[in-house]
């Protein structure tokens, strides 16, 4: 099925075949993402990156992806400089943006914002994170990082560690892993457990899920340790955050009994949950993972948008 013109709001919007297609294309685009080859696949195309929440990697990797493919970006990186500060609705803002661009990449603090944007826009909308809900393009690059290390996505044991309640990256990733039949081990403080409705959705998909709050035990037979930051900004109050702050940390001692091929992933930024000493171990894969954001987003954009002038 073609992805041309499609909205990517949730990882649920993509079938396994479509994910495979994006990852195949992303692998071929790595030399362009590295600047070793050039491309004009998006020549003449304008992509709006509308970020109403802080972002480093997601926005910059989307913009790098557009520019590596010869396209241009319209950027909103600060809500304070838009008319939303004057009370303009997101709906109206997106209507306007869709008339200025060929696709919209949106990050927003409210869950469901990307779905609203997809309804409002005449152009395809890509969700770059909506509150604590979904971050489908992060899941795609997480999958690519796993596949690059193991050559497969099937039959792996993946530990999801940390803030599984508010962490949108794990919400998207867990749904994608379920499609590939990976075994998931949930390791989280009780207060940060995976939302119940997502858990039951995963169960209904036949996902193999166990729980192990003790990190060392969780990691023992695992292939992937996916660590997340506690999403401080999503907590309704500071007190609730303080009860879980600093409740887990991955350092070299945690990884002592792990498989030699275990990889540690993290969507970044980290805030103390992965000790920098892990960077010097062969397990650290999170900087490579961050780089893969560029070819994955190139693959997605070039699948969704029609070829540029030269294409």
Partner 1 sequence: MVRELRITPIRNGTVIDHITNGLALDVLRIIGVRELDKDSTVSIALHVRSGKIGWKDIVKVENMELSPRKVNAIALITPSATISIIRDHQVREKRSVDLPEHVTGVVRCPNINCISNQGEPIESDFRVVRRRPVVLRCTYCDRQVTDFLRHLA
Instruction: Kindly write out the interface string for residues 127-146 of this chain, putting x where it contacts partner 1 by CB under 8 A and - elsewhere.
Output: ---xxxxx------------
**Residue in the structure block whose two tokens are 């990190």:** 215
57 is catalytic: yes
In the complex, least distance from residue 281 CB atom to partner 1, rounded to whole angstroms: 36
Would you say how long the chain is, in residues? 311
Separation of alpha carbons 155 and 222, rounded Å: 11
- Cβ closer to partner 1: 70 or 131? 131
Q: Is 73 in the site for partner 1 (CB under 8 A)?
A: no
Question: Which neighbouring-strand residues pair with 184?
Answer: 158, 209
First to last CA, the chain: 20
- Cβ closer to partner 1: 132 or 230? 132
12 is catalytic: no
Residue of 135, 165, 168, 229 with catalytic role? 135
Scanning 90-98, 151-159, 212-220, 238-246 for contacts with partner 1 by CB under 8 A, the matching segment is 90-98
In the complex, least distance from residue 113 CB atom to partner 1, rounded to whole angstroms: 5
Rounded (10°) CA dihedral 99, 301, 310, 37: 140
Is residue 2 exposed (0-12), middle (13-18) or buried (19+ Cβ within 10 Å)? exposed
86 is catalytic: yes
Instruction: Kindly write out the interface string for residues 99-128 of this chain, putting x where it contacts partner 1 by CB under 8 A and - elsewhere.
Output: ---------xxxxxx-xx--x---------
58 is catalytic: yes
Contact with partner 1 (CB under 8 A) among 15, 89, 243, 253 = 89
Separation of alpha carbons 135 and 140, rounded Å: 9
Instruction: For residue 275, give both structure tokens.
Output: 């000790």
| Helix (H) or strand (E) run with residue 21 in it | helix 16-33
Q: Are strands 224-227 and 183-187 parallel, antiparallel or unpaired?
A: unpaired
Contact with partner 1 (CB under 8 A) among 13, 91, 208, 251 = 91
Catalytic residue numbers read: 57-58, 86, 107, 135
- Using CB under 8 A, list all residues that contact partner 1: 10, 89-92, 108-113, 115-116, 119, 130-134, 197
């Amino acid at each position: 099925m073609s992805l041309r013109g499609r909205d990517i709001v949730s990882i649920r919007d993509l079938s396994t075949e479509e994910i495979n297609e994006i990852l195949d294309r992303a692998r071929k685009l790595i030399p362009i993402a590295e600047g070793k080859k050039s491309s004009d696949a998006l020549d003449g195309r304008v992509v709006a990156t509308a970020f109403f929440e802080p972002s480093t990697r997601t926005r910059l990797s989307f913009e790098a992806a557009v520019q590596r493919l010869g396209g241009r970006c319209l950027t909103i990186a600060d809500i304070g400089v838009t008319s939303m500060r004057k009370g303009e609705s997101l709906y109206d803002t997106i209507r306007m943006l869709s008339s200025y661009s060929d696709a919209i990449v949106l990050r927003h603090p409210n869950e469901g914002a990307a779905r609203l944007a997809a309804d409002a826009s005449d152009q395809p909308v890509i969700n770059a994170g909506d509150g604590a809900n979904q971050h489908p393009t992060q899941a795609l690059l997480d999958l690519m990082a796993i596949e690059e290390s193991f050559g497969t996505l099937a039959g792996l044991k993946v530990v999801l560690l940390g803030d599984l309640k508010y962490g949108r990256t794990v919400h998207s990733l867990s749904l994608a892993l379920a499609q590939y039949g990976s075994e998931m081990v949930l390791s989280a403080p009780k207060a940060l457990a995976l939302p119940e409705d997502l858990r039951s959705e995963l169960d209904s998909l036949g996902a193999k899920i166990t729980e192990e709050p003790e990190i060392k035990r969780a990691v023992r037979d695992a292939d992937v340790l996916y660590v997340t930051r506690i999403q401080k900004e999503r907590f309704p109050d500071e007190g609730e955050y303080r009860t879980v702050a600093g409740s887990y940390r991955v350092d070299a001692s945690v990884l002592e009994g792990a498989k030699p091929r275990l990889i540690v992933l993290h969507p970044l930024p980290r805030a103390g949950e992965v000790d920098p000493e892990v960077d010097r171990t062969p397990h650290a894969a999170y900087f490579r993972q961050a780089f893969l954001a560029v070819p994955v987003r190139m693959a997605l954009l070039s699948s969704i948008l029609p070829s540029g002038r030269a294409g």
